[in-house]
Structure 1
């Protein structure tokens, strides 16, 4: 079995970027970041806070039934040489492990805690407040056989968990962390130096030197495995305390290895929707000209197509203040189309209760959205059970 002997990370240039990328409109003079598009509207945080607190203590948030979301034990390939096809395993919320042909493995937004809490600095099973996981963790971090890269979309607690990061670093001390701008210092505070931060449209090459035994002579052999990790825009916010709003960047990502590419949308909105009447379609004629985030089409036009997209479909209600930063399934399908993903899997639903849509509504609405777009309801943009793996082929 081949083992990792070292990891080299270098900047990669020459890939296409939008003409306006050099303007860095998302950088503010005060060192913070912003969404530079008309599709973004800042939401009323006081209103959002009142809604969250009132709903939580009044018991108005959805209450999942036991085993509402199926959980299965993940089945990972134990050896790099066993990975022949692109394979993605949903580990809950926005966490995916992706195995690339040839053996490179990337872990996205790992959160394995029972409960995440703001603004405390950790996620811990002993915490007694904050949104709790209502589906079991399908496996423990230590059960994953190989992790080469950990990709983080942003610093919100449901995407960046200090306990999970420490456990990952303890098991795979050579694994490299890829993070958006201004997040590296957080990792350094944990004693983690193997971290690269990237701005939108920046690319990095990671090369892994592998050592193993030859099949005939049993002499030591050396080979290399590589991947390109690309940072892309998305429409969101970031922060871990009451004073660091947007002091760190948020991103979506692309990873290419073994001739296959994936797009990880992270946590994102698509368009800002005003308050509408109950039952009114915010994609109807009245709202058809609302601006949508142009970054996704740029990503698809310049870097697509992607073999697989991992795209959020949940945490979207109440729509009038969630829509700028969280996609609903109709937005998700548009992101899928804009980014030119051949296949997609849903995420950001069925794990934590963050908003007030019914627990099982996101996949139901996803099927409706696909049908409305003329896309098959199954086999193209699917949802899987927590812990379930999906092999991504042209046919399936």
Structure 2
């Protein structure tokens, strides 16, 4: 099997970064200028509800029956066995395979393989005996993946960053480069046995170069000598924490990857607009709510870095809206993000694995079709969902 060594440049501030990025308005600093945590800088996030408010509201809803847990007894999310390319020169298209929740493996026509937010455990929690339990298995085991060149982590929450998964990935792929938000590099170095970690701020670029190792070639071996990619860390509207003591001490982000003439924008996990508490039957995209502030950073991403061949955009974990809209996009938000970022095509992520909030498990794809229709877009073929393990080409 052909193997590669990897090298990555130090992140540099993008020349086209917006003014607020250069001013680091998302950093909260001490008087000596040291960043101690991060924040969402726009009214579209507002002041987040406390962890106690979220937890108590969800528990009370379960106990009183006003917001029961979603029914899993008849959920049928399709799944297929994934098929990856046998070689790095097997396709001129961009190939994206959904492995469950926010995890995608993307194979670029250059030969580059990028894995986004890998979590292969049964529970997205600090321990595997308590916390949200997976109701659909991952598409495959980590051992069944082809060699991975880059692993992108959007933020530190347990449904996006799994210690067990990244440890195994680092062990199986010693040349893989991990790209993370500010503050996470030390966690990776301390816990995952790898030094190939690049932490980045919003609107920073880094170049990844893979060089083929000297090996005996077979007669049909056409693997490229070098593979290059541009990795850009970009904004999202979210938060971070792995315990009660480290809230917002590491940076959440979206990422853009360009290689071989194709580009992907990975939304990770993000909100779009802050919605107040409303009766459940009220449409918060009705005309009376047009004035609710929207996060302007997605239009900046589209204008300065778009268009993208593929967007991986979250569509789930959004109910009740007054608790989660600031940090989790619903399908209507997702379509607006899709348009703002100027993605040519998109796939929905962040649904179908764990019950994290109150909406029915299979609701996000249904609402996505309605959101596309309302926006005058085709209900299929532009912004889709797929079976777990399915590959789409772009």
* 1:3 aligned residue: 3
Shift, 1:52, TM fit: 3.1
The separation in 1 between residues aligned to 2:142 and 2:42, in whole angstroms, is 38
Cα-to-partner distance string for 1:357-376 (whole Å, 9 max, x where unaligned): 01111000000000000000
Unaligned runs of 5+ in 1: none
Given the alignment, which residue of 263, 273, 295 partners 1:261?
263
2:57 paired residue number: 51
Indicate if the aligned counterparts of 1:48 and 1:321 stay in contact, CA closer than 8 A. Answer: yes
CA shift for structure 1 position 213: 4.3
1:34-57 Cα deviation digits (max 9, x unpaired): 000011122322221113334567
**Match for residue 326 of structure 1 among 315, 328, 341:** 328
Q: Deviations over 1:120-174 (max 9, x none)?
A: 3x5xxxx221001100121000100120000000000110000001110111011
Segment drifting more, 67-76 vs 86-95: 67-76
Mapping of 1:327-366 within 5 angstroms?
327-366=329-368
Distance 1:94 1:217, change over 3 A: closer
Partner Cα distance (1:106, 1:38) in 2: 33
SS in 1 for 2:334: helix
Residue 123 of structure 2 corresponds to which residue in structure 1? 115
> For the Cα contact (< 8 Å) 2:81–2:140, is it kept in 1?
yes
Q: Residues of 1 paired with 2:107 and 2:206: CA distance?
A: 19
Shift of the 296–169 alpha-carbon distance from structure 1 to 2, 3 Å rule, reads same
Distance across 1 between alignment mates of 2:145 and 2:124: 22
Displacement, 1:58? 7.2
TM-superposed CA distance for 1:18, in Å, is 1.5
The Cα of 1:15 is off from its aligned counterpart by 5.0
Deviations 1:99-136 (A, max 9, x none): 0002100000000000122xx3x5xxxx2210011001
Deviation at 1:217, TM superposition (A): 11
**DSSP 3-state at the match of 1:20:** helix
How far the C-alpha of 1:82 sits from its partner, in A, is: 1.2
Residues 87 and 223 in structure 2, CA contact (< 8 A), matched pair in contact too: no
The 3 A distance-change label for structure 1 pair 186 and 157 is same
Quick one: distance in 2 between partners of 1:7 and 1:207? Answer: 6
1:241 aligned residue: 243
Establish whether residue 86 from structure 1 lines up as the match of residue 94 from structure 2.
yes
**Taking structure 2 as the reference length, what is the TM-score of the superposition?**
0.93
Bigger Cα displacement from structure 2, 375-384 vs 208-217 = 208-217
What secondary structure is seen at the aligned counterpart in 1 of 2:337?
helix
The farther-off stretch of 327-336 and 17-26 is 17-26
Distance 1:365 1:319 in 2: 14
Please give the residue correspondences for 1:285-324 in structure 2 after superposition, counting only pairs within 5 Å: 285-324=287-326
Query: How many Å apart are 1:223 and its aligned residue?
Result: 1.2
- In the alignment, which residue of structure 2 is the partner of 1:128? 129
Could you tell me how far apart the structure 2 residues matched to 1:94 and 1:222 are?
Answer: 29
DSSP-derived class of the 1:11 partner:
coil
CA contact (8 A) 1:213 1:221 kept: no
Task: Provide the rounded CA distance (Å) in 2 between the counterparts of 1:222 and 1:373.
Answer: 42
How many angstroms apart in 2 are the aligned matches of 1:106 and 1:49? 34
Say if 1:29 and 1:223 are closer, same or farther in 2 by CA, change over 3 A: same
Q: Distance in 1 between matches of 2:63 and 2:278?
A: 26
Do the aligned partners of residues 282 and 80 (structure 1) sit closer, same or farther apart at CA in structure 2, a change above 3 Å counting?
Answer: same
Give the equivalent residue in structure 2 for 1:106: 114
**What is the CA distance between 1:71 and its match in structure 2?**
1.4
RMSD over aligned Cα, in angstroms? Answer: 1.9
Q: Is the 8 A contact 2:75 2:362 kept in 1?
A: no
- Shift in Å, 1:97: 0.3
Residue among 21, 42, 54 paired with 2:47: 42
1:272 is aligned to 2:274? yes
Assess, with a 3 A threshold, how the Cα gap between structure 1 residues 309 and 15 changes in structure 2: closer, same or farther: farther
User: Does the aligned pair in 2 maintain the 1:2–1:213 contact within 8 Å?
Assistant: no
C-alpha spacing 1:52/1:84, structure 2 compared with 1 (3 Å)? same
The equivalent residue for 1:177 is 178
* Cross-structure match for 2:21: 21
CA shift in 2, pair 1:12/1:167, >3 Å: closer
What secondary structure, in the 3-state scheme, does the structure 2 residue paired with 1:310 have?
A: strand
Partner of 1:391: 393
Summarize the Cα distance change of 1:58–1:300 in structure 2 as closer, same or farther, 3 Å threshold. Answer: same
Distance in 1 between residues matched to 2:25 and 2:249, nearest whole Å: 15
Aligned residue in 1 for 2:33:
none
Q: Where does residue 188 of structure 1 map in the other structure?
A: 189
